[in-house]
Amino acid sequence: MDIEIGSNLYQNSNGTIEIEGVPQIHVARHPASGALLVNFALFDSNGRMLAKMVDSTMMFNERRAYELTKTNQSVAMKEVESGKILLQLEVKASDVVSFSRGEFYTMKGRLFYVSPTEWKLEKQRKSGLTQDAKGGAVFIG
């Protein structure tokens, strides 16, 4: 599976996105329906888990502070109070998933930001990169 994160393309991945050495996002397609399945753990700046999504379904949602919107082709999570998009993924082609917008803390408490043109993690930023994951995870940070 190829994963676009901002304007960066990671080819031949296993669907796992590791941020600072921690697998924080996993994307897959349902074998029968082709629906986008997303696993995601949301943390606060202290590394405490606030919400958890398994197969595009909220399993844990502290104080119902987060809202999930999904179709077979897309999954988005936002903060209810502010409306801020935390995670937005969509299927672009049969084997390409795009992570086009997002803003959340890593498990280590650093802010990770994704826009259509780049991703940023503190002072690191990448834009326009194409990388072969060689069947493994996408590594960020």
Q: What is the mean pLDDT of the chain?
A: 96
At 135, the amino acid letter reads G
**pLDDT at residue 60, rounded to an integer:** 93
pLDDT score, position 62: 80
Which residues, in sequence order, are bridge partners of residue 16?
26
Domain positions in the chain: 2-140
Which residue do the tokens 């590594």 mark? 139
Per residue in 69-121, pLDDT (tens digit) is 999 999 999 999 999 999 999 999 989 999 999 999 999 999 999 999 999 99
Structure tokens at 46: 């202290």
Do residues 78 and 85 lie in contact, with contact meaning Cβ atoms separated by under 8 Å? yes
Q: What does the pLDDT read at residue 102?
A: 97
With a pLDDT cut of 70, the percent of the chain lying above it is 100
Q: What is the pLDDT of residue 81?
A: 93
| 70-98 burial code (b ≥16 CB/10 A, e <16) | beeebbbbbbeeeeebbbbbbbeeeeebb
